[in-house]
Chain A
Amino acid sequence: MTLSREQMAMRVARELEDGYYVNLGIGIPTLVANYIPDGMDVMLQSENGLLGMGPFPTEVELDADMINAGKETVTTIKGASIFSSAESFAMIRGGHVDLTVLGAFEVDIQGNIASWMIPGKLIKGMGGAMDLVAAARNIIVMMTHADKHGNSKLLDQCTLPLTGAGCIKKVLTDLAYLEIENGAFILKERAPGVSVEEIVSKTAGKLIVPDTVVEMTF
């Protein structure tokens, strides 16, 4: 079985540590916030200038001046801080954020990522994605293994315009968890019930399969 969006979020949440400052990209990555282990303190960074993002507000708490980078109304948790966009990207660019999770269209064996632009389609912009991928030391890309036409999104070389060059080392898909090392994807874990053969057949980029590949459990 391929991982559901929730299972993907649960798997990424296992990478969290107590005291981590984490930036979650728009889309599936935001689900990771639902699986922060009990008792663990994690602060979510939102690049519009918020560290310590809380849940959506109630009707009573709703405040036009309190939004996240996805422009959704949010709240703060205890111990939060709010600052300018320059300060926000200083902490990102300076490598102070412990973990960044974001989606992508393509990732390749050199750690290149394409996530913001499909030529011929309306281009809305990169927002803060280029700053995040260029700066974070610990990035997990969270995406489906193949696009909706069945084309692999793990390639020898990205075909779409890049968001960042040589910056990705970890990828979680709905089929597998992989790392990128020395110009290849290394298959580290497979989704429950998903065979190594299936992953091999759906990975276009160079893939190294170790003798043992752990099956994820949930």
Chain B
Amino acid sequence: MSGFDKVVTSYAEAMKGLEDNMTVAAGGFGLCGIPENLIAQIRKMGVKNLTVYSNNCGIDGFGLGVLLEDKQIKTIHASYVGENKMFEQQMLQGELEVILTPQGTLAEKMRAGGAGIPGFYTATGYGTPVTEGKEVRQFNGRNYVLEEAIVADFAIVKAWKADRFGNAIYRHTAQNFNPMVATCGRITVMEVEEIVEPGELDPCQIHTPGIYVDRLIQGTFEKRIEKRTVRAA
């Protein structure tokens, strides 16, 4: 008997409870380290009017881009978007609200949300259009902007390996936003390439402790490459 066992066996079960109008935080940078099967499940469920927090919004036909096909996203908070035609179209037609957020601020908003810190001051974006109307405070003669934390109804995360308790390790730069996203969900769902038994992973090497993970599922991944750059051998 283990109340710590987070493993679920179907993607339907993994995303159970996600409804219209909810907020979703998603890990990944470009197409690297994205929870591609959890995104596909959201597509399948057909839930609408989602508010999404993610550094990017995928490409046409892959990653978060697939949620644009049936107009499931109402608002997206991201630092860099528009790698897809459908995104551009929906944004220009006013069907998709885009809130551009500096990359480091987005990461910190998620980290703060998961850490129970409701807001923080940062110099990033001061004097630019993205912080207009936000509270400004001086520290040591410099202006800082108040940014509020993100807590999402669902957080969807991709890791490399995890034990059944949700202790997880990321692989290379597929780590990116995933550790912060894992902390900021009311329900955090993690998909991995391999689930192992507790004790098989070195506790010193864990990136995300299982306490943050509510549901865990093993999947297979396409891992599409966005910009394939190689050199001669």
Please say whether chains A and B are actual partners in one complex. Answer: yes
Given the complex of chains A and B, what is the CA–CA distance between A163 and B123 in angstroms? 12
Interface residues of B in 113-135 (CB under 8 A from A): 122-130
Query: Residue among B32, B111, B180 with the most chain A CB within 10 A?
Result: B32
Chain B residues packing against A (C-beta within 8 Å): 29-33, 55, 78-83, 88, 100, 102-108, 110-111, 122-130, 160, 171-180, 207, 223-233
A100 at the interface (CB under 8 A from B): no
Given the complex of chains A and B, what is the CA–CA distance between A73 and B176 in angstroms? 15
Count residues of chain A with CB under 8 A from any CB of chain B: 53
Output the nearest chain B residue to A66 by Cβ-Cβ distance: B172
Asked if B111 and A130 make an inter-chain contact with CB atoms under 8 angstroms apart, the answer reads no
Q: Are A73 and B230 also in contact (CB < 8 A) when A66-B172, A86-B180, A93-B124 are? A: yes
Q: A66's contact among B30, B127, B160, B173, by CB below 8 Å, is which?
A: B173
Asked if B227 and A86 make an inter-chain contact with CB atoms under 8 angstroms apart, the answer reads no
> Would you give the 0/1 interface string for A117-131, flagging 1 where the beta carbon is closer than 8 Å to chain B?
100001111111111
Asked if A59 and B233 make an inter-chain contact with CB atoms under 8 angstroms apart, the answer reads yes
Asked if B102 and A128 make an inter-chain contact with CB atoms under 8 angstroms apart, the answer reads yes
Q: B124's contact among A57, A125, A135, by CB below 8 Å, is which?
A: A135
Asked if A58 and B172 make an inter-chain contact with CB atoms under 8 angstroms apart, the answer reads no
Distance between B182 CB and nearest chain A CB, rounded to angstroms: 10
Q: Are A48 and B228 also in contact (CB < 8 A) when A67-B30, A92-B104, A134-B126 are? A: no
Output the nearest chain A residue to B145 by Cβ-Cβ distance: A134
**CB neighbours of A134 from chain B (8 A):** 122-126
**CB neighbours of A164 from chain B (8 A):** 126-128
Asked if A56 and B32 make an inter-chain contact with CB atoms under 8 angstroms apart, the answer reads no
Asked if A125 and B100 make an inter-chain contact with CB atoms under 8 angstroms apart, the answer reads yes
Given the complex of chains A and B, what is the CA–CA distance between A112 and B32 in angstroms? 33
**CB neighbours of A85 from chain B (8 A):** 29, 55, 103-104, 106-107, 176-177, 180
Q: Are A122 and B103 also in contact (CB < 8 A) when A48-B32, A49-B173 are? A: no
Asked if B227 and A89 make an inter-chain contact with CB atoms under 8 angstroms apart, the answer reads no
Q: Are A126 and B32 also in contact (CB < 8 A) when A73-B228, A161-B128 are? A: no
A-B contact pairs, 16 of them (CB 8 A): A49-B29, A56-B229, A58-B230, A60-B233, A62-B230, A64-B31, A64-B223, A64-B225, A70-B227, A72-B227, A124-B80, A130-B124, A130-B125, A130-B128, A131-B103, A166-B127
Query: Residue among A46, A84, A161 with the most chain B CB within 10 A?
Result: A84
A63 at the interface (CB under 8 A from B): yes
Asked if A65 and B32 make an inter-chain contact with CB atoms under 8 angstroms apart, the answer reads yes
Chain A residues packing against B (C-beta within 8 Å): 46-50, 55-60, 62-74, 82-86, 88-89, 92-93, 112, 117, 122-131, 134-135, 161-166
Asked if A65 and B33 make an inter-chain contact with CB atoms under 8 angstroms apart, the answer reads yes
Given the complex of chains A and B, what is the CA–CA distance between A164 and B230 in angstroms? 34
Asked if A71 and B226 make an inter-chain contact with CB atoms under 8 angstroms apart, the answer reads yes
Asked if A122 and B88 make an inter-chain contact with CB atoms under 8 angstroms apart, the answer reads yes
Q: A63's contact among B108, B122, B172, B232, by CB below 8 Å, is which?
A: B172
**CB neighbours of B83 from chain A (8 A):** 124
Please provide the 9 A-B residue pairs with the shortest distance between their CB atoms, ordered closest to farther. A89-B104, A165-B127, A131-B104, A125-B80, A64-B223, A128-B103, A71-B30, A130-B102, A85-B107
**CB neighbours of A112 from chain B (8 A):** 127
**CB neighbours of B123 from chain A (8 A):** 93, 134-135
Distance between B124 CB and nearest chain A CB, rounded to angstroms: 4
Q: Are A58 and B102 also in contact (CB < 8 A) when A49-B173, A131-B124, A166-B127 are? A: no
Asked if A125 and B78 make an inter-chain contact with CB atoms under 8 angstroms apart, the answer reads yes
Q: A89's contact among B107, B125, B223, B231, by CB below 8 Å, is which?
A: B107
Asked if B179 and A86 make an inter-chain contact with CB atoms under 8 angstroms apart, the answer reads yes
**CB neighbours of A83 from chain B (8 A):** 175
Query: Residue among B103, B127, B228 with the most chain A CB within 10 A?
Result: B103
Output the nearest chain B residue to A92 by Cβ-Cβ distance: B104
Q: Are A126 and B80 also in contact (CB < 8 A) when A66-B173, A67-B173, A117-B129 are? A: yes
Asked if B172 and A124 make an inter-chain contact with CB atoms under 8 angstroms apart, the answer reads no
Output the nearest chain B residue to A63 by Cβ-Cβ distance: B172
Given the complex of chains A and B, what is the CA–CA distance between A60 and B160 in angstroms? 21
**CB neighbours of B107 from chain A (8 A):** 84-86, 88-89
